Amino acid sequence: MELALELHQAGRLAEAEAAYRAVLANDPDNVDALHFLGVLAFQQNDYRKAEELIARSLMRNPANPAARNNLGNALAAQARLDEAMACYREALALQPGFVGALVNLGAGSMAQGKAEEAVGYYAQALDIDPGNALALSNLGNAYRHLERLEEAVACHARAVALGPELPEAQHNFGNSLHAMGRLDEAEASYRKALSLRPGFAEALTSLGNLLDDRGRIDEAQQCHREALALNPDFADAHCNLGNTLVAQGRLQEAQACFAQALRQRPGLAPAMYSLANLRLMLGDYAAGLPLYECRFDKQALSRLYAGMRARLAQFEAVPRWRGEDAAGKTLLVWTEQGLGDSLMLLRYLPLLEKRGVGRLLVYCEPALARLVRDIAGVDGVIPKTEAPPLADLHLHCPIMSLPLAFDTRLATIPARVPYVRVAAHLERAWAGKLSGVGRPRVGLAWSGGELYPRNSLRSVRLAQLRPILEVAGASFVSLQKGNAALQRQDSAVVILDWMAECDDLLETAALICQLDLVICVDTSVAHLAGALGAPVWMLNRFESEWRWQLQGEDSPWYPTMRIFRQTRPGDWDEAIAHVAAELRQRTTREPGNG
């Protein structure tokens, strides 16, 4: 038996298996040989065999906490979480303070979507063993799930310092760095994990996701395909490969990948979400909108959606409105994603009165609050800096669920604009500020929000807009916020800038009302201009987004929008040249008046 254990610990698994079986040939009831042969089967991904062998060991010695814990691992690997959690608790009862069982209870809680509970288990493990790198790394995962990213990165950094040769710790560190947008560091962590374990399929597909976010689609696909070569049943990798195929416009192949992921793991939220976006991209709202509700699944999709699920839990005691007659009730609609998403869906608010809503409240970002107050049918606005008035509510609805509640189809999108407005006194104030600016006045926004993981794909640098800026006769006005706005300082062309005076979207809307045209990338400015009924030319990345579909210059959501698309991934030159040519024609045709 000692020789078998030595071979096992040395990683000489085939020899160890032969040695364990030799022990069992002489002693068929040897509990240790059965147990460790089961552990070896687990290491070889034969989880049913592992379960059978460890269970046989426990029949002969039910008081073995290590075997009980390892049986839990074999059950968890088969997605039998309730049984696994029972095993971990039994192991802990047999050996109070069993760090391995506490760590596994934390992992099981995470798999059940109970991140706060997981934090408690990991904290207990670390109280007993402060230098446990695995517990620290898993605690970091729980913090990441809870959007406590600074704490997550701190845990992972400590875990890597304690266990620099642990590939799991490096992989988890990479995931938290990726979530924070620290892509260079994240890529280095993934590659370190792979150097420690070349066949680490999870790290391969995580690296693929990062490369996908950076627009390195071919490299991303290669990572996902390598992960699948290692583990053909790896549902997450099938899903991730599908996402890269979507980015290349290969939608039928992508759909097959999502279907395969769902065959292997029915209900897998990321695959359902990707499939929802694909069906919406194809204009199939009947299938896409119900699938889109999976964004509230307990399984983390991203920082953004983890936050949404936390918000949904806040309204747990309030019934959710799903489109039925509201019979004079008070309904609270709450924003859940980016500002652009919310701006797009505000069009539904005036329609709620016809569903019987007696009082309509909107819970939204402070930047939206003043704009929303003037929308027809809105009775009150609560900024998210305040608590929602739960006691006063009969119903609630996340704003991105309104298209489903209204049974929207491509042909029935409520596309009448404008559906937001600017008060006359505010229009006059901004007219005065721009009174000396010649026409046509062209607003520019070249970068989206930096927290969006694929922002680098949808955004450009101001210098790339040089062909547009060189069009004679136009006056250019910045609509850009954030760090990207600083690029204006390096422009050889004068770009007027009042954005420091635009504290919220109502002020930005008032500025847009004084412009003749908005040219922008896919960001909230595009939605705001479209909601105002202003002419807007949007530069759209090759992979597009479901609301813009894959082809055509028009938008079913905004009748005053014209879409200029990349014809190749990452290549903006052709689309920008097209915009410049159209702007040149416009300024020549209508000099001085837009």
Burial group, residue 366, by CB count within 10 angstroms (0-12, 13-18, 19+): middle
Cα distances from 214 to residues 39, 130, 220, 568, in angstroms, run 39, 37, 9, 15
Dist CA 503 CA 78 (whole Å): 52
How many Cβ atoms are within 10 Å of 228's Cβ, its own excluded?
A: 20
Using the Cα atoms of residue 10, residue 12, residue 18 and residue 21 in order, give the sign of their dihedral. Answer: positive
Q: Judge whether residue 306 has pLDDT over 70.
A: no
* CATH T-level fold of 315-412: Rossmann fold (3.40.50)
Predicted confidence at residue 594, as pLDDT, reads: 40
Q: What is the mean pLDDT of residues 312-326?
A: 90
pLDDT confidence of residue 299? 58
Residue type, 304: L
CB under 8 Å to 26, separation ≥6 — which residues?
A: none
Is the Cα torsion angle 564, 568, 570, 572 positive or negative in sign?
negative
Segment 503-553, tens digit of pLDDT: 999 999 999 999 999 999 999 999 999 999 999 999 999 999 999 999 999
Every domain of the chain and the residues it spans: 201-302, 315-412, 424-589
**Mean pLDDT, residues 127-151:** 92
pLDDT score, position 200: 95
Tokens 């039910």, residue located = 62
pLDDT at 298: 58
Query: How far is the C-alpha of 360 from the C-alpha of 392, rounded, in Å?
Result: 11
Beta bridge partners of 364: 383
592 pLDDT exceeds 60?
no
The CATH class given to the 424-589 domain equals alpha beta
Interval 391-399 mean pLDDT:
95
Instruction: Give the pLDDT of residue 593.
Output: 47
Structural contact between residues 169 and 200, judged by C-beta atoms closer than 8 angstroms: no
Q: How many helices (H) and strands (E) does the chain have?
A: 28, 10
Cα distance between residue 261 and residue 266, in whole Å = 8
Checking if the pLDDT of 286 tops 90, the result is yes
What are 558's two structure tokens?
């905004």
What is the overall mean pLDDT for the chain? 92
C-beta neighbour count of 583 within 10 angstroms: 22
| CATH fold for domain 201-302 | 1.25.40
305, pLDDT greater than 80: no
315-412 and 424-589 in the same fold:
yes
The CA distance from 361 to 489, in Å, is: 42
Element (H, E) at 269: helix 269-281
Average pLDDT score over residue span 170-199: 95
CA atoms within 13 A on the CB side of 179: 26
